[in-house]
Amino acid sequence: MTKVMDIKYGLSATFNSAKDLFEAAGKVREEGFTNWECYTPMPVHGLDGQMGLPRSKVPCFTLAGGITGFCTGMLIVWYMNAFDYPLIVGGKPYFSPIYPFPVFYELTILFSAFGTLFGMFFLNGLPRHNHPVMEHPKFGKCGDDKYFIVIEVEDPKFDDDETQEFLKGVGGKSIIMIREPID
């Protein structure tokens, strides 16, 4: 067997309740850590504020999608019914923003929805099927009923022993170093 090398990714601490994690997250932020993350089985109310995170940027993608959809809808109707092949139907004008209302209305919603979903994927860096944190031996538990805080080695304030003590101090259980195997 070849010897597998590994690199340290970060220190993980486990919490048993949303309340414990919430309080600990506040202390981690106050301590001045920057490269850290909470892992929770469901969105925890108010945790973004507690971690000092700004509002999500997803709405920008929605808006971009919506504008694209609106313009696409208007443009295809104008191009097809008024420019490329003008046709009088029922004595109505070749182009008007009223009669194709359902067309651009639906396209606005359609493109906004795509913008929202792909914006969420983009901001979350998904799809990404491998990630060092998945090497955590109990990673599956954070989808079930456990809460993790992981402070990365990358963090400027990180120190093997001190950070371990700190995580213990804020109530973290079973603190382990997540190691990412490389070969």
Partner 1 sequence: MSASTQTETETPAILKKVDPAPWEEPPLVLNNRSFGWVTEKICNVVESKTPAWWWWCFITALFVASFTGMGLVYLVSTGVGVWGNNNPVNWGWAIVNFVFWIGIGHAGTLISAVLCLLKQKWRTSINRASEAMTVFAVLCAGIFPLFHVGRVWFAWWLFPLPNANAIWPQFRSPLEWDVFAVSTYATVSILFWYMGMIPDLAVIRDRAKQRWRKIFYGILSMGWRHANNHWRNFEMAYLILAGLSTPLVLSVHTIVSFDFAVANLPGWHTTIFPPYFVAGAIFSGFGMVLTLLLPLRSVFGLHDLITQKHIDNMCKIIIATGSLVGYAYSMEFFIAWYGANSYEGFAFINRAFGNYWWSYWIMISCNVISPQLFWFRKIRENTPLVWIISIFVNIGMWFERFVIANTTLSRDFLPSSWGYYSPSIVDIFTFAGTFGFFSVLFLLFLRFLPLMPMAEVKMVMPQADPHGGKH
Whole-angstrom CA distances from 52 to 39, 137, 176 are 15, 28, 25
Among residues 11, 13, 28, 107, which is the contact residue for partner 1, using CB under 8 A? 107
Interaction residues for partner 1, span 123-152 (CB under 8 A):
123-124, 126-131, 133-134, 139-140, 142-145
Site of tokens 């983009």: 122
Q: Are 130 and 182 in contact (CB under 8 A)?
A: no
Q: Is 3 in the site for partner 1 (CB under 8 A)?
A: no
Q: Is 178 in the site for partner 1 (CB under 8 A)?
A: no
Q: Return the bridge partners of 149, or none.
A: 13, 38
Tell me the helix, strand and coil percentages in the chain, rounded to 5: 50, 15, 35
C-alpha span between 69 and 75 (Å, rounded): 10
Q: Tokens in use for 158?
A: 């990180």
CB of 13 to partner 1, least distance (A): 14
Residue with smaller CB distance to partner 1, 32 or 90 = 90
Residue with smaller CB distance to partner 1, 76 or 177 = 76
Among residues 67, 71, 103, 153, which is the contact residue for partner 1, using CB under 8 A? 103
CB of 156 to partner 1, least distance (A): 19
Residue with smaller CB distance to partner 1, 57 or 159 = 57
The residue type at 112: S
C-alpha span between 92 and 131 (Å, rounded): 59
Distance of CA 58 to the CA centre of its chain: 9
CB of 161 to partner 1, least distance (A): 26
Among residues 27, 29, 35, 37, which is the contact residue for partner 1, using CB under 8 A? 37
C-alpha span between 76 and 78 (Å, rounded): 6
Q: Tokens in use for 57?
A: 């940027």
Binding positions for partner 1, rule: CB under 8 A: 17-19, 21-22, 37-48, 50-51, 53, 55-59, 62, 76-77, 80-81, 84-85, 87, 89-90, 92, 99-100, 102-103, 105-107, 109-110, 112-114, 116-117, 119-121, 123-124, 126-131, 133-134, 139-140, 142-145
